[in-house]
Amino acid sequence: MIRNWLHAAVAYKSQHPVGKYFSIPFGTIQKNDSEERFKMQFLQNIFAAPLDLILGPKHFIEDMWLESGRSRALLLGFPAFVVSLIGALVIGMAQFAKNDMEAGYVAVLERVVEDKERLEIQLQDEGRMAEFASVDAASDEDVDPRTQALAELREEESIYLQKLISMNPKEPAYRFRLAMSKLRTDPEHGISILKNLAPEDEAGFADAHKFLAKYYASLRPSTQTDAVANADLALTHADFSLKRDKNDNVSKSIKAQLLMKQDRLKEANELFSELFEEEPQFYRQLLQINERLERTDLDESIVERALISYNERLSRGDLNDRKWVATWLQMIDCYRELGDFERAAELLTDEIGKLANAAGADQQQESADKARSRRVFLRKLLSGVYLNWAGKIASADGATKEDKLNCLQLATQAYRLNQNDSNVLRLIARLATDRDEEVANAAKAIYDPYEHFAAPSLVLNELGASAMQKGDYDGAVKFFELARKKDPNNPMILNNLSYSWLRNNDQDANRALQLVNQGLRLIAGSSQWTKFRPNFLDTKGTALVKLGRYEEAIAAFENALTARPNDVGLLQQLVECYENAGLDTEVLINRIERVEALNAESN
């Protein structure tokens, strides 16, 4: 083998003789001494190896150049190939380094977000997020240091997101996260980013479409035109979100709600039915659609199907605390819908007993604590069931003494479960002021509101209302003033107090007007506005009449009349105001004729 290798080496050197460029006097070589010649040649090759490394490529290039035109073209393109190869390697290494840096930024960002969210939860649980909103306006001594830490974490989050966007501008997820972080501090900037990610004329980033659908659906419009425009935009974004992910239940729910508002009930029903198959909580929307389509005969079967789903979830025993609480709330709500308070109370009582046994028998502290906390929640829920049950009896027309005593029995059960529930105390206080002495004494035996001037505002309000019904407006003022001190921004208490000041012995109309105006400002835009606005405007008009400001009173009464067009008392007050103001107009004649017509109907 060695001999063959040496022969190959000699063959190579015969074509590229090293001695032509470099020679070493190794001594005389005899022609016939072939073996010695081979050895000498081999040694010569070893010593000439460094030179070969330099001259070998030269020989190769010369041979290729002389061989053909194609070979020369290959040689001319070789440097470009080498440069491209090096460039590709450099780019690859740079991309690798960039990806590595991006991954590092993402890891840091996730830690910052985790710290931020943990701090937000702490502050929200303590009710201190409002303090964060005014952190810049407060002095350093007044501000919880955690609010400053939260501001710094949000700023840090924004910085890392901007770095990631500059490194990878084509990744929409980074811009979406930046938009979400900006919404709290700079909402206009955040919405602008979202609109960029989710245009109105084509499908963009799905999460941005989903958020904008919720955003436009929740906007409070100033005009009907704005309301229509917002609904159309919300539908557009919901459709684009569903185009990206047809199984996105959030977008599907938003679309269904919008369709229901637009009276497209069959389309809404189809979507809510799909949602109901996965989430039984949508049973309520199906009931609302049934009511509007006048097919309430289907309600019971829908609620029963929801109850089956909730019972299956609870029986699995694998729900975390949040889902467990939500499932119980929704299931009890179904029983309320059916009016089956007895079954709801039975289930809750049974579960409370099981949890009490589990808390006592479990050796692990964590499991025992969990059972105890769940038991506390269910006791409050059971108290609410008894309260709803009692309220249904109390609100029935023509309630008898027996009905009231049954109502008190249920209210007592609720009181024993949760003695600090102001709604329970208010119901017992209402029964304690009943005209039937037996009912009133029985209620006072449980909770005597007259002996509890430290009672909740709702109880004091109830006592004031009872005094008003008895014509004791001085007593009503006393109770309502106490209630207002405990709850100064409760519009219902303010309106009651205002009306009492108009009827008591002092009759302070200026005080009454001030209170009712404050109540109107507080109730404006709330869920109570439509229902209670006429009452507030009636009180305001009465105060203005006592002050002799008849034209302003007319405006208040006319406004109230739009909601209560057949209210004879309002119409009569309007007639007096028009006459006192000297406004003998067609409107006055119309109001007089309307009063006469309503009186004729009642007779």
pLDDT tens digits, one per residue of 92-131: 555 555 555 667 767 776 787 777 777 777 766 555 434 3
With respect to residue 465, please indicate whether it lies within any of the assigned structural domains. Answer: no
Measured between alpha carbons, how far is 418 from 301 in angstroms, rounded to an integer? 33
Between 311 and 139, the higher pLDDT residue: 311
The pLDDT of residue 73 is above 70: no
Q: What is the DSSP letter of 22?
A: -
DSSP secondary structure string for all residues of 80-144: HHHHHHHHHHHHHHHHHHHHHHHHHHHHHHHHHHHHHHHHHHHHHHTT-HHHHHTTTTS-TTTS-
Ramachandran assignment for 25, one of left (phi > 0), alpha (psi -120 to 50 degrees), beta (any other): beta
With respect to residue 27, please indicate whether it lies within any of the assigned structural domains. Answer: yes
- For residue 358, what pLDDT is reported? 79
Ramachandran assignment for 525, one of left (phi > 0), alpha (psi -120 to 50 degrees), beta (any other): left
Helix runs in 16-68, H state only: 34-67
Q: Which of 42, 67, 92 is the last residue of a domain?
A: 67
Instruction: Quote the number of domains for the chain.
Output: 2
Measured between alpha carbons, how far is 264 from 61 in angstroms, rounded to an integer? 82
- For residue 247 the two structure tokens come to 């199984």
With respect to residue 535, please indicate whether it lies within any of the assigned structural domains. Answer: yes
Cα torsion 73, 76, 81, 87 to 10°: value is -150
Q: Stretch 320-348: mean pLDDT, rounded? A: 93
CA distances from 549 to 497, 540, 552 (A): 21, 11, 6
Q: Stretch 200-227: mean pLDDT, rounded? A: 89
The pLDDT of residue 371 is above 80: yes
The pLDDT of residue 45 is above 70: no
- For residue 96, what pLDDT is reported? 53
The answer to whether the CB of 236 falls within 8 A of the CB of 200 is: yes
| Residue where the block lists tokens 């109830």 | 462
Q: Stretch 26-50: mean pLDDT, rounded? A: 56
The pLDDT of residue 537 is above 80: yes
Half-sphere exposure of 45 (CA within 13 A, CB side): 20
Q: Stretch 565-588: mean pLDDT, rounded? A: 84
With respect to residue 177, please indicate whether it lies within any of the assigned structural domains. Answer: no
pLDDT band, residue 356 (cuts 50/70/90): confident
Measured between alpha carbons, how far is 252 from 241 in angstroms, rounded to an integer? 9
pLDDT tens digits, one per residue of 445-485: 998 888 866 778 888 888 888 888 888 888 889 889 988 99
Measured between alpha carbons, how far is 313 from 323 in angstroms, rounded to an integer? 9
Q: Which of 107-121, 130-144, 209-223, 333-347 shows the lowest mean pLDDT across its residues?
A: 130-144
Q: Stretch 575-587: mean pLDDT, rounded? A: 82
With respect to residue 7, please indicate whether it lies within any of the assigned structural domains. Answer: yes
The pLDDT of residue 578 is above 70: yes
Measured between alpha carbons, how far is 490 from 462 in angstroms, rounded to an integer? 13
Task: State in Å, rounded, how far the first CA of the chain is from the last one.
Answer: 134
Measured between alpha carbons, how far is 282 from 253 in angstroms, rounded to an integer? 9
Q: Which of 67, 88, 113 is the last residue of a domain?
A: 67
Measured between alpha carbons, how far is 410 from 404 in angstroms, rounded to an integer? 10
- For residue 589, what pLDDT is reported? 80
The pLDDT of residue 513 is above 60: yes
pTM for this model (two decimals): 0.63
pLDDT band, residue 20 (cuts 50/70/90): very low
- For residue 235, what pLDDT is reported? 93
With respect to residue 573, please indicate whether it lies within any of the assigned structural domains. Answer: yes
- For 191, counting Cβ atoms within 10 Å of its Cβ (0-12 exposed, 13-18 middle, 19+ buried), the class is middle
Range of the domain at 42: 2-67
Closest CA to 112 of 50, 68, 164: 164
Give the CATH number, domain containing residue 520.
1.25.40.10
Q: Which of 58-67, 301-310, 407-416 shows the lowest mean pLDDT across its residues?
A: 58-67
Residue 481 main-chain phi, psi, to 5 deg: -65, -40
Q: Which of 67, 86, 101 is the last residue of a domain?
A: 67
Q: Stretch 409-417: mean pLDDT, rounded? A: 93
What single-letter amino acid sits at 140? D
pLDDT band, residue 29 (cuts 50/70/90): very low
With respect to residue 9, please indicate whether it lies within any of the assigned structural domains. Answer: yes
Closest CA to 144 of 130, 160, 164, 162: 130
- For residue 389, what pLDDT is reported? 94
Helix runs in 420-508, H state only: 422-432, 437-446, 457-469, 473-486, 491-503
Closest CA to 479 of 488, 490, 471, 468: 468
- For residue 338, what pLDDT is reported? 92
Burial 248-273 (b: 16+ CB within 10 A, else e): bebbbbbbbbbbbeeeebeebbebbe
DSSP secondary structure string for all residues of 368-402: HHHHHHHHHHHHHHHHHHHHHHHHHHHTSTT--HH
Which one of 22-36, 69-83, 518-532, 589-603 scores highest in mean pLDDT?
518-532
- For residue 386 the two structure tokens come to 């008894």
With respect to residue 521, please indicate whether it lies within any of the assigned structural domains. Answer: yes
Measured between alpha carbons, how far is 70 from 264 in angstroms, rounded to an integer? 75
The helix or strand, by DSSP H or E, that contains position 453, with its residue range, turns out to be none
The answer to whether the CB of 110 falls within 8 A of the CB of 104 is: no
